[in-house]
Amino acid sequence: MEGLTAALMAIALAGLGLWTLIRRRNAIWKLLGLNVASGGSILFLVAVAHRPEARPPILGMGPGPAADPLPQALVLTAIVIHFATLALSLVYVIFLTERRHTQDVPRLERPRRRR
């Protein structure tokens, strides 16, 4: 049942990140919320790979049933892509701050006043 508990905690984490993503007005806070939600998705995949009393899916590593290797491979992909996209979106936040002098998303969405 550890897998189910971890999966429910992962869903709670994703909900927390989603709440931050929706309710915060600051762009960097939104990115942090997205990162927390992606952490939830990673934890969910790890929980799906879990089996009771499992060992790592490596040949010759202890007795017992092995954990599912496929979700673990997906986690490997997810972590790297999250890192890369977070870095890229932070660059865009720097652009926005440089041009508009604010990180407040409702204010950024309003059309710019003409000079």
Binding-site size for other proteins (CB under 8 A) equals 48
Q: Is 48 in the site for other proteins (CB under 8 A)?
A: yes
Estimate the crossing angle of helix 27-49 against helix 69-100, to 10 degrees: 180
User: Is the CB of 21 or the CB of 108 nearer to other proteins?
Assistant: 21
Q: Rounded distance, CA 111 to CA 91, Å?
A: 22
Interacting residue with other proteins among 84, 100, 104, 107 (CB under 8 A):
84
The answer to whether 25 contacts other proteins (rule: CB under 8 A) is: no
Q: How far apart are CA 60 and CA 112, in angstroms?
A: 63
Contact 31, 93 (CB under 8 A): yes
Closer to other proteins by Cβ: residue 11 or 32: 11
4 binds other proteins (CB under 8 A): yes
Binding mask 96-115 for other proteins (x = CB under 8 A): --x-----------------
Kindly list the distances between the CA atom of residue 113 and the CA atoms of 48, 81, 106, in Å, as whole numbers in the listed order: 50, 37, 14
Burial class (CB in 10 A: 0-12, 13-18, 19+), 93: middle
Which residues sit at the interface with other proteins, rule CB under 8 A? 1, 3-4, 7-8, 11-12, 14-15, 18-19, 22-23, 44, 48, 50-52, 56-61, 65-70, 72-73, 76-77, 79-81, 83-85, 87-88, 90-92, 94-95, 98
